[in-house]
């Protein structure tokens, strides 16, 4: 390798390191953590949302839990928060039929700056709301079946389907709010989700970042 090539490579390496260092700097807004019960579906979705809103990854940690049980998600979130200071910690988990659901919610309520992001029966109800309003009572199996009618490419182990949803984000938020009002009137909790509250919060960070 010639001297000029060596200098070029050295300069390129320096520029890459400098870029990485700059990207690692935190932006002047909250430091948050999003702990998800699964390792693929919801983490993949939120990672794409972070990219879409152009949020600084040094400010937003998206962490898969060590297990899917709600209490495991909450315990993992508390454990992580001992190692790093967060302004807010969001715990994303499903109501489903988890035995530890009530314990997890109660434990979160005793923690400051923690918020539960819950979907019933599962996170897929939030995805389905991108395509229209529904208050139909669901099992997980029926929910996935209805979602695949709208989003044939959906696979719980992939996040490539995100591009088919982003232009429907406002529709999903509107439908989720309508579902909350409907559930309040009917005292129902299936289906239910408050994922839109986390999305709207992330959107406010995006606005403050511009």
Structural domains counted in the chain: 1
Report if residue 136 sits inside a domain.
Answer: yes
Residue 14 lies in a domain: no
Domain membership of residue 62 (yes or no) is: yes
CB 71 within 8 A of CB 185: no
Q: How confident is the model at residue 158 (pLDDT cuts 50, 70, 90)?
A: confident
Single pTM value for the model: 0.85
**Domain containing residue 193:** 29-209
Distance (Å) of CA 94 to CA 41, 114, 123, 179, 194: 12, 16, 6, 16, 11
Per-residue pLDDT for 108 more than 80? yes
The C-alpha atoms of residue 116 and residue 99 are separated, in whole angstroms, by 16
Q: Is it the case that residue 198 has pLDDT exceeding 50?
A: yes
SS3 115: strand
- Asked whether residue 23 is assigned to any structural domain, the reply reads no
The C-alpha atoms of residue 37 and residue 93 are separated, in whole angstroms, by: 5
Q: What is the pLDDT of residue 122?
A: 94
Any domain includes 4 = no
CB neighbourhood size of 12 (10 A): 10
Specify the pLDDT at position 39. 73
CATH number of residue 84's parent domain = 3.40.50
6 in any annotated domain = no
pLDDT, the chain, mean: 87
């Amino acid at each position: 390798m010639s001297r000029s090539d060596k200098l070029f490579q050295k300069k390129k390496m320096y520029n890459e390191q400098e870029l990485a260092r700059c990207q690692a700097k935190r932006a002047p807004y909250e430091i948050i953590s999003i702990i998800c019960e699964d390792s693929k579906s919801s983490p993949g979705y939120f990672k794409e949302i972070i990219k879409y809103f152009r949020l600084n990854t040094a400010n937003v940690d998206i962490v898969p839990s060590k297990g899917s049980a709600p209490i495991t998600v909450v315990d993992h979130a508390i454990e992580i928060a001992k190692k790093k200071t967060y302004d807010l910690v969001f715990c994303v988990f499903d109501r489903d039929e988890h035995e530890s659901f009530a314990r997890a919610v109660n434990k979160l309520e005793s923690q400051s700056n923690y918020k539960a992001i819950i979907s019933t029966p599962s996170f897929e109800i939030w995805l389905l709301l991108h395509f229209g309003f529904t208050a139909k009572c669901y099992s997980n199996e029926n929910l996935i079946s209805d979602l695949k009618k709208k989003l044939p490419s959906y696979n719980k182990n992939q996040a490539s389907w995100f591009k088919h949803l982003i232009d429907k984000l406002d529709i999903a938020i509107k439908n989720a709010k309508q579902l909350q009002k409907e559930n309040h009137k009917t005292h129902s909790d299936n289906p239910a989700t408050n994922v839109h509250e986390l999305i709207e919060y992330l959107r406010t960070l995006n606005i403050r970042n511009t």
